[in-house]
Amino acid sequence: MKRYAVIGLGNFGFYAAKALFEDGSEVIAIDTDKQRVHQVDHYATEAIVLDATDKEAVRSLGLEHMDAVIVSTGTKISTSILVCLHLAELGAKKIVAKALDDDHAKILRKVGATEIIHPERDMAIRVSRSLSRPNILDFIPLADEFDLIQVETPKEFIGKTLKDLNLRAKYGVHIIAIKELSPENFILVPPPNQEIKSSDILVMLGRSDDIRKIKAIK
């Protein structure tokens, strides 16, 4: 069983703890606010009222043994910086910290955060792309230059094999999986002679610019 800690139980922290717990993980939820701790009690293995800027108090929790610690401590930048610093010094394996802006993110990384999240920015991008790229069923940002996406099969691809399409050579895009909807089947790393059907969902990996060229195909 995976084990996580969530420090800071505002909206983001609450739903992060809830989602992890509902996925079957062990979750320690931490906040200084008794009401917030009470609200998350049903969605956590342990809900604790504690000031995470107190290094010795945090040490007693053994958070270095967690698979990851999520730091979501609100708008007071100094709090999240201090919490991340203490977690890093205590040996936490993975520290996922919520940043308010780019400068905040830089500081969090310098004091030990291993992963930075920008919830509002990331959700805005996701929603905007779902509107501006309606043929994309799901979008997973990998890096600034790469996308891993699921797309409906363009009409031009129907009835052709992957060898016929030769997308790697033409566009630099890889089809790493195919979701067949009729009948339901999932093909990981499909063979070159795999024929594309109209009901197929294509899972593609490639540079963002190259993916856009594929999306432009009708």
Q: Which domains does the chain have, with CATH numbers?
A: 3-120 (3.40.50.720), 127-215 (3.30.70.1450)
Given a contact cutoff of 8 angstroms between Cβ atoms, the answer to whether 108 and 81 are in contact is yes
pLDDT at position 146 over 80:
no
pLDDT of residue 122: 79
- Give me the phi and psi of 97, to 5 degrees please: -115, 140
pTM of the model: 0.65
Report the Cα–Cα distance between both ends of the chain, in Å, rounded.
Answer: 45
The rounded distance, in Å, linking the Cα atoms of 193 and 42 is: 51
* Contact present, 63 and 89 (Cβ < 8 Å): no
Would you state the torsion angle of the CA atoms of residues 112, 114, 119, 123, taken in this order, to the nearest 10 degrees?
A: 160
Asked whether 137 and 151 are in contact (CB, 8 A), the reply is yes
* Residue 47 pLDDT grade (very low, low, confident, very high; cuts 50, 70, 90): very high
**pLDDT tens figures, 151-208:** 889 889 999 999 999 999 999 999 999 998 878 899 999 999 999 999 999 999 888 8
Q: Sorting pLDDT into bands at 50, 70 and 90, what band is 139?
A: low
What strands, in cross-sheet order, belong to the sheet with 174-181? 136-143, 146-152, 201-207, 174-181, 184-188
